[in-house]
Structure 1
Amino acid sequence: MKPKIAIPIVVVLLCFQQVIQAQTLKSKIQKSVVEIGDTFPEIPMDRLKYLDQVSFLVFKKLEDSTKVDVLFLDETNQEISQLAMIWLQTGMLYYGYSDRFNIQSAGISPKIEPMSKLAELKEYGFSIRNTRGENPISYKIDFGSGNWIVYPKSFQSLNLSSETTFNIYLENLSDDETKNNIELLFSDTSSIPREMLYMATRINNLLQTKQ
């Protein structure tokens, strides 16, 4: 599923600027965001172009509504989709747009087992702990003024409208090429923080330009 809308590539390093916001990130997370932003030039040119296109499509979706549902989908809803969700949420919080996006993740066949990769978030300043609730595997991730509850779930359980939700497939899972679907494939989790924060930066830049 290739996006059919072409936009100019921005090959400059966009500056992160902290904004006053209702929800805030811990200072260590803010520092991590800036440090990751310094590595944007390491993104390969073809990947950079594709990330620009995905960001533009999310931005265009926002133009039609006051809030956009963004859903990251993979097979099991384990590390890849969960981390993509967390890092794009982090970027939107950093720029003060968390109220404009409902960012979630889900799996086609969610696997109910521990998510060891989430522990890597601690080095960036997040606090993580297991939480007991109605879900057998569940984590509370503290980002500062609030927290996210993360657990494996199916996309059917979210009851999101196909008309209003922008689906980002992180694996080859769908042949349905619609304006609300796109693929963004990852072979591992190492590039997710950088690429999701880059997308947040591009979306912020597009929103600032629009104003």
Structure 2
Amino acid sequence: MYSKLKKTISELTQDFESIPEERKQTLQEVAKYISKELDENDTVKLNFICTHNSRRSHLAQIWTQTAAHYYDIEGVETYSGGTEATAFNPRAVAAVERAGFHVNSPVGENPRYEIKFSEEAEPMICFSKKFDDSENPEKNFAAIMTCSDADENCPFVPGTSFRKAVTYRDPKESDGTDHEKETYDERCRQIGTEMFYMMSQV
């Protein structure tokens, strides 16, 4: 893994105690599902869903895939989607870069970012799409709802074998303020800490 990212991950894994106990229980439930699927099928598919697939769902997808590699857990496939498609927000992309990921940033209204945690690994392709996009799984997957709006407005996600709400405050609330960068970094690290904790329980 890239050296800056390794340093960030070391900080995240030392911060597990900051996760509230109730939150840990929720993450442990997801971890149990992952373990069960891997035991029975050798593969588990996780689709992280928020409203616009522009911030929180991408961060959760990226950190979970990275954590699976870090803990040497094979068979984990991560995806993300929204109740509508917009674009992977550049502020969230910048937070990912500051955490230590390498990002190939193309142009366009809804660019397909290539995000890597290591030179040896295949890049994660991240762009905004609906949760039922053809690039996402159609059946036997977990829907992890990363925002309360999507959880409330999308009561049924076809094809799921498991669903859990693991919601986060939207860093969008800081857009255009003096605290923008700080808020995005804070949310990126919070999601990273919790996804690493979750995968450490698998």
Partner of 1:130: 105
Aligned residue for 1:60, secondary structure, equals helix
Q: What is the letter of the counterpart of residue 87 of structure 1?
A: W
* Separation in 1, partners of 2:88, 2:193: 26
Residue 174 of structure 1, aligned match among 151, 154, 157: 154
Deviation at residue 156 of structure 1 after TM alignment: 2.2
Paired residues in the alignment total 176
Give 1:29-40 correspondences, 5 Å limit. 29-40=5-16
1:184 corresponds to 2:159 = no
TM-score, with structure 1 as normaliser? 0.75
Residue in structure 1 matched with residue 93 of structure 2 by the alignment:
118
Q: Which one has a larger percent helix, Structure 1 or Structure 2?
A: 2
Q: Look at both structures and tell me which one has the larger radius of gyration over its CA atoms.
A: 1
Counterpart CA distance in 2 for 1:136 and 1:36 is: 30
Alignment of 1:25-174 (within 5 A): 25-97=1-73, 99-112=74-87, 114-131=89-106, 136-144=110-118, 145-146=120-121, 147-157=123-133, 158=135, 160-162=137-139, 164-171=140-147, 172=151, 173-174=153-154
> Once the 2 structures are TM-superposed, how far is the Cα of residue 56 of structure 1 from its aligned partner?
1.2
TM-score, normalised by the number of residues in structure 2: 0.78
In structure 1, C-alpha distance between the alignment counterparts of 2:69 and 2:136, rounded to whole Å: 24
Check whether the contact 1:69–1:102 (CA below 8 A) recurs between aligned residues: yes
Q: Kindly, what percent of the aligned residue pairs are identical?
A: 26
Aligned residues of 2:143 and 2:164 also touching (Cα < 8 A): yes
1:9 equivalent in structure 2: none
1:195 aligns to what?
194
> Which runs of 5 or more residues in structure 1 are unaligned?
1-24, 204-211
Q: In structure 2, do the counterparts of structure 1 residues 49 and 120 end up closer, same or farther at CA, with 3 Å as the change threshold?
A: same
Alpha-carbon shift at residue 27 of structure 1 (Å): 2.8
SS of the residue corresponding to residue 180 of structure 1 reads: strand
